[in-house]
Amino acid sequence: MQTILVIDDDESLRDTIGVMLEQEGFRAVLVEDGRQGFEKALLLKPDLMLVDLRLPGMSGVEICKQLRAAQFQTPIIVLSAIGDEVDKVLLLEIGADDYVVKPFGSRELLARIRALLRRTSPDAHKVFHFGDTEIDLDRRVVLRSGEELKVTPAEYNLLTYFLQNPDRPLTRDMILNSVWGYQSFPNTRTVDAHVVKLRQKLEPDPNIPRYFLTVHGVGYRFVP
Amino acid sequence: MQTILVIDDDESLRDTIGVMLEQEGFRAVLVEDGRQGFEKALLLKPDLMLVDLRLPGMSGVEICKQLRAAQFQTPIIVLSAIGDEVDKVLLLEIGADDYVVKPFGSRELLARIRALLRRTSPDAHKVFHFGDTEIDLDRRVVLRSGEELKVTPAEYNLLTYFLQNPDRPLTRDMILNSVWGYQSFPNTRTVDAHVVKLRQKLEPDPNIPRYFLTVHGVGYRFVP
DNA sequence: GGAGAACGTTTACATTTTGTTAACAGGCAG
DNA sequence: CTGCCTGTTAACAAAATGTAAACGTTCTCC
Residue where one domain finishes, among candidates A120, A140, A170: A120
Among A9, A104, A117, the strongest candidate for a mutation testing the B interface, having the largest count of B CBs within 10 A, is A104
Spatial distance from the CA of A50 to the C1' of C8 (Å): 37
Q: Are residues A18 and A110 in the same domain?
A: yes
For residue B114, give every residue at least 6 positions away whose Cβ sits within 8 Å of its Cβ, in sequence order, or none.
none
- Residue B217: CATH number of its domain: 1.10.10.10
Residue where one domain finishes, among candidates A120, A135, A166: A120
- Contact call for A103 and B91, based on CB within 8 A: yes
Within 13 Å, how many C-alpha atoms sit on residue B99's CB side? 29
- Contact call for A107 and B95, based on CB within 8 A: yes
Q: Are residues B134 and B113 in the same domain?
A: no
Query: Which residues from B are below 8 Å from A22, CB to CB?
Result: 177, 182
Examine the pLDDT at B209 and tell me if it is beyond 70: yes
Q: Is the peptide bond before B122 cis (omega within 30 degrees of 0)?
A: no
- Contact call for B218 and A140, based on CB within 8 A: yes
For residue A78, give every residue at least 6 positions away whose Cβ sits within 8 Å of its Cβ, in sequence order, or none.
A51, A52, A53, A60, A64, A86, A91, A96, A98, A99, A100
Q: What residue numbers bound the domain in which B109 lies?
A: 3-120
d(CA B69, CA B65): 6
CA of A154: which chain B residue's CA is closest?
A: B217
Q: Does A54 touch chain B (CB under 8 A)?
A: no
Residue B129 burial (C-beta neighbours within 10 Å; 0-12, 13-18, 19+): exposed
Q: How many domains does chain B have?
A: 2
Which of these, B106, B116, B134, lies nearest to B74 by C-alpha position? B116
d(CA B45, CA B28): 13
d(CA B95, CA A16): 12
Q: Are residues A114 and A159 in the same domain?
A: no
For residue A222, give every residue at least 6 positions away whose Cβ sits within 8 Å of its Cβ, in sequence order, or none.
A162, A163, A165, A166, A167, A170, A211, A212, A213
For residue B143, give every residue at least 6 positions away whose Cβ sits within 8 Å of its Cβ, in sequence order, or none.
B133, B134, B135, B136, B149
Which amino acid does the sequence have at A45? K
CA B56, distance to chain mean position in Å, is 22
* Total length of chain B: 224
Output phi, psi for B105, to 5 deg.
Answer: -80, 150
- pTM confidence score: 0.77
The predicted pLDDT at position B8 comes to 92
CA of B73: which chain A residue's CA is closest?
A: A107
Examine the pLDDT at B112 and tell me if it is beyond 90: no
d(CA A51, CA A86): 14
Q: Are residues B9 and B116 in the same domain?
A: yes
- Residue B99: CATH number of its domain: 3.40.50.2300
Examine the pLDDT at A194 and tell me if it is beyond 90: yes
Q: Are residues B54 and B104 in the same domain?
A: yes
Query: Which residues from A are below 8 Å from B96, CB to CB?
Result: 103, 105
Q: Are residues B88 and B135 in the same domain?
A: no
Q: Are residues B75 and B160 in the same domain?
A: no
Q: Does B182 touch chain A (CB under 8 A)?
A: yes
d(CA A149, CA A142): 5
C9: residue with closest CA to C1'? B190
Q: What is the pLDDT of residues A62-114, one digit of tens each?
A: 899 888 887 788 999 999 876 566 566 677 778 888 888 777 877 788 888 98
Poorest-pLDDT segment among A88-92, A191-195, A210-214: A88-92
- Contact call for A140 and B178, based on CB within 8 A: no
